[in-house]
Amino acid sequence: MIGNFPYVTVAVSIGCGLYILMFQKNLIKLAIGINLIESGINLFLITLGYRKGGVAPIYTQAPAGKAMVLPTPQALTLTSIVIGVATSALVLSMAMMIYKHYGTIEVDKARRLRG
């Protein structure tokens, strides 16, 4: 079971994020749901690149015959983290502007007050 634990964690994280996105109406909770999905995807990418007993992919210091972990998922995850921070900042700033304009961060109430 411990070998599949990262995949179970990925499924739970993405599932919780999707549940929040589908059933919550608070803009802050929606931002948390988006972050949960992003974190689950990042963990999935890192888990795919893992190799048991692997060494860091630095070719000048790698011992001969040792397997190296894959560097591509690490690079994709780093890029995803940067994009996730920017997305979170944008979503939270939009929530602040909606609160200033409508006085609420509930999606249904703000939709009714539109005008």
**pTM for the full model?**
0.83
Break the chain into its structural domains and give their ranges: 5-112
- Count CB neighbours of 38 within 10 A: 20
How many residues does this entry show for the chain? 115
CATH architecture of structural domain 5-112: Orthogonal Bundle (1.10)
Q: What is the pLDDT of residues 9-53, one digit of tens each?
A: 999 999 999 999 999 999 999 999 999 999 999 999 988 887 777
The most confident of 10-14, 53-57, 61-65, by mean pLDDT: 10-14
Contacts of 39 (CB under 8 A, 6+ apart): 13
Residue 55 tokens, joined: 């060494």
Supply the DSSP string of 57-94, one letter for each residue.
Answer: S-TTTPPTT--B--HHHHHHHHHHHHHHHHHHHHHHHH
